[in-house]
């Protein structure tokens, strides 16, 4: 796992041909011995090839007018803002965002097209489950960044009662001057997601602007674990016949701190 953690940030630039020779050699040496990382490289390369082959069609594609009208009816059109030429920092940010999107698509390709069963047999049930949910985490926040949906804690708790028969009490933002361990958590919303064994609850938060997902898997108990997959950390624990998985992309110490906050507050 430590070798995979070190190689993880090099994989996408390796596929893009942006690594120095000595880093390429490191990645290639690791890939010879690591089947899961080879599968990730195969999946992401397949996505790149698919996007290149479909480039002309994607440029010709247009959003259906019905979808435009539905979005506009639910949300005022944003003002047009024109920026000067992109700065180097903005270019780097855009590049990272593109890589995150491509990685999410690669994850779906790996788990759906490549076969979740084979992947699960290779890396184990816990790591495969974490990879599936991490792909959903990235996908759902990409959609939220476009639609800007936002729900209250009360709305999310009502959804969990009706959709999962779960009388949940969620962590809730409490601004200063009354500090609380979860004061930096801001709820975004909730939605159902699906993995190999059925429907799970996906609760979306932001912690100081950072996307954080909490998944609740009903009727199953995984052992406590901390898994690094697809560039994210997934903290896994079980309680009262449910498994919870918290996913975020941040320094590991920060992810563990957020998980501790959530476990102390989530009921």
**What CA–CA distance (Å, rounded) separates 188 from 156?**
9
- pLDDT score for 223: 92
Structure tokens at 111: 């788990």
| Range list of H helices, 54-115 | 55-60, 65-74, 88-108
Q: Could you give the CA distance from residue 111 to residue 34 in angstroms, rounded to a whole number?
A: 17
Tell me the average pLDDT across 138-164. 86
Q: Which of residues 182 and 102 earns the better pLDDT score? A: 102
Give the side-chain half-sphere CA count within 13 A for 93.
5
Domain range summary for the chain, segments of one domain joined by +:
2-71+86-123, 134-265
User: What's the pLDDT at 259?
Assistant: 92
Asked if residue 46 lies in contact with residue 109, where contact means CB atoms within 8 angstroms, the answer is yes
> Kind and range of the H or E element at 186?
strand 185-195
Class of domain 134-265: alpha beta
Above 50 in pLDDT, residue 175?
Answer: no
Q: What is the pLDDT of residue 80?
A: 45
Question: From the CB of residue 251, how many other CB atoms can be counted at a distance below 10 Å?
Answer: 10
Q: Is the pLDDT of residue 24 over 70?
A: yes
Is the pLDDT score of 166 beyond 80?
yes
Please compute the mean of the pLDDT values over residues 101-124 and round it to a whole number: 53
Predicted confidence (pLDDT) per residue in 26-43, tens digit? 999 999 988 777 877 876
Spatial neighbors of 148 by CB under 8 A, at least 6 apart, are 75
pLDDT of residue 98: 55
pLDDT of 247 > 90? The answer is: yes
Predicted confidence (pLDDT) per residue in 44-73, tens digit: 776 666 566 655 655 555 555 555 565 555
Q: What is the pLDDT of residue 121?
A: 52
- Residues 207-244 pLDDT 10s: 888 899 999 999 999 999 999 987 889 999 999 899 99
- Percent of the chain scored above 90 by pLDDT? 26
Burial class (CB in 10 A: 0-12, 13-18, 19+), 76: exposed
C-alpha torsion angle, residues 49, 59, 136, 172 (rounded to 10): 150
Give the confidence band of 255 by pLDDT, cuts at 50, 70, 90: very high
The alpha-helical segments, DSSP class H, found in the chain are 2-15, 21-33, 35-53, 55-60, 65-74, 88-108, 116-123, 125-147, 153-164, 252-265
At residue 148, the pLDDT reads 81
| Burial of 80 from C-beta contacts in 10 A (0-12 / 13-18 / 19+) | exposed
Residue 172 has a pLDDT of 67
Residue at token pair 């999410």: 104
């Amino acid at each position: 796992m430590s070798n995979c953690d070190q190689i993880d940030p090099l994989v996408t630039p390796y596929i893009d041909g942006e690594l120095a020779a000595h880093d390429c050699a490191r990645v290639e040496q690791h890939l010879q011995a690591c089947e899961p990382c080879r599968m990730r490289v195969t999946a992401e390369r397949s996505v790149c090839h698919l996007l290149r082959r479909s480039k002309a069609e994607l440029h010709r594609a247009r959003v259906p007018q019905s979808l435009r009208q539905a979005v506009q009816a639910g949300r005022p059109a944003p003002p047009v803002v024109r920026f000067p030429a992109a700065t180097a920092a903005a270019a780097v940010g855009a590049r990272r965002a593109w890589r995150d999107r491509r990685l999410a698509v690669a994850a779906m390709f790996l788990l759906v097209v490549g076969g979740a069963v084979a992947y699960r047999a290779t890396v184990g049930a816990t790591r495969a489950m974490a990879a599936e949910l991490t792909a959903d985490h990235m996908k759902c926040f990409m959609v939220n960044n476009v639609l800007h949906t936002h729900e209250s804690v009360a709305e999310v708790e009502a959804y969990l009662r009706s959709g999962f028969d779960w009388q949940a009490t969620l962590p809730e933002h409490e601004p200063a001057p009354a500090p609380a361990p979860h004061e930096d958590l801001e709820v975004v919303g909730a939605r159902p997601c699906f993995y190999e064994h059925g429907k799970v609850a996906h609760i979306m938060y932001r912690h100081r602007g950072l996307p954080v997902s909490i998944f609740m898997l009903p009727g199953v108990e995984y052992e406590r674990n901390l898994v690094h997959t697809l560039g994210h950390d997934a903290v896994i624990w079980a309680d009262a016949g449910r498994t919870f998985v918290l996913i975020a992309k941040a320094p590991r110490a920060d992810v563990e701190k957020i998980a501790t906050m959530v476990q102390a507050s989530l009921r």
